[in-house]
Amino acid sequence: MEKQNNTVDPVKDDYYIDNEKRPVSDSASDDAILSQFSPAEERRILRKIDTRLVLTVGFMYCISLMDRTNLSAANIAG
């Protein structure tokens, strides 16, 4: 007797919607996914994304500013 494998493939379930052979990036499926969120949830998700982006870009700007300042100091020092 063969043993039945009833496990779910997490990669397959994340990549495909409703176990169909249609990728998640399909525009119709994007609308279906977006319609699952309430306006409050959408705002919360966008705020998280914006916070991460602003912090990352701000950190990169600070590093860039320090680098530009050090270039002039290194030029003067020889």
Domain ranges within the chain, ordered by starting residue: 10-77
**How far from 21 is each of 6, 12, 34, 57, CA to CA, in Å?**
19, 9, 20, 37
Block means of pLDDT (10 residues each) for the chain, 78 residues, are 55 54 62 83 93 97 91 83
* 8 Å CB contact between 17 and 32: yes
| Distance from C-alpha of 29 to C-alpha of 20, rounded to nearest angstrom | 11
pLDDT of 16 reads 54
Residue partners of 19: CB distance under 8 A and separation at least 6 = 12, 13
Structure tokens at 8: 């779910």
